Amino acid sequence: MGSRKCGSCLSGLLIPLALWSIIVNILLYFPNGQTSYASSNKLTNYVWYFEGICFSGIMMLIVAAVLLVLENESNYKCCQSENCSKKYMTLLSMIFSALGIAFSGYCLVISALGLVQGPYCRTPDGWEYAFEGTAGRFLTDSSIWTECLEPEHVVEWNIILFSVLIALSGLQVIVCLIRVVTQLSKILCGTYSVIIQPGII
């Protein structure tokens, strides 16, 4: 009972993390609250991977909803015996938690790449990725941020939002990993076996 409540809490935690991921990803489209850069496609290319909106957002909301449903005791009725039903629910929970790791992991990787690449901005030489060749060294050298003339403060904007996305998706990975380990321990340590014994069905 305690482990089920803990599982529900972890699944519930995925919901606000997913909602914040959607919000943060949307903000990346509007540097300083301006819509003109998105409409003229003058944003970093990694914004268009929809890592926060789709994968760490909508897909994680679906995963969280499924996991919450699976934690509900009233759903243990897929077989003739309660023990058999629990086996399937545990297996399904582990599968969806693994999917959650994949979705949030995608967001984590893409956000990290976007952070290291730097923003697409206007420099004295025109619109370009001003820090693409620095291998992320610009992140610790704020003196060169002034190379980006437009959008204003776009370097800070990208660093903060991509960092927040990395943190949110990282927490999602941890939550889903805990759930996988928990469900796997139930299977391997004998809380109930996934192997259906003859005569159960």
- The per-residue pLDDT for range 136-157, each reduced to its tens digit, is 999 999 999 999 999 999 999 9
Average pLDDT over residues 91-109: 95
Contact 165, 44 (CB under 8 A): no
Nearest to 27 by CA among 163, 161, 170: 161
pLDDT of 138 reads: 95
* Cα–Cα dist 65/45, whole Å: 31
Give me the percent of the chain exceeding a pLDDT of 90: 68
**How many other CB atoms are there within 10 angstroms of residue 159's CB atom?**
18
pLDDT tier, 197 (very low <50, low <70, confident <90, very high otherwise): very low
* Cα–Cα dist 126/143, whole Å: 20
Q: For the chain, first and last CA: distance in Å?
A: 25
Average pLDDT over residues 103-120: 97
pTM of the model: 0.86
Contact 136, 68 (CB under 8 A): no
**How many other CB atoms are there within 10 angstroms of residue 50's CB atom?**
16
Q: Which tens digit of pLDDT belongs to each residue from 57-90?
A: 999 999 999 999 888 766 555 555 555 567 788 8
pLDDT tier, 51 (very low <50, low <70, confident <90, very high otherwise): very high
Weakest-pLDDT range from 98-102, 116-120, 175-179, 195-199: 195-199
Residue 77 DSSP SS3: coil
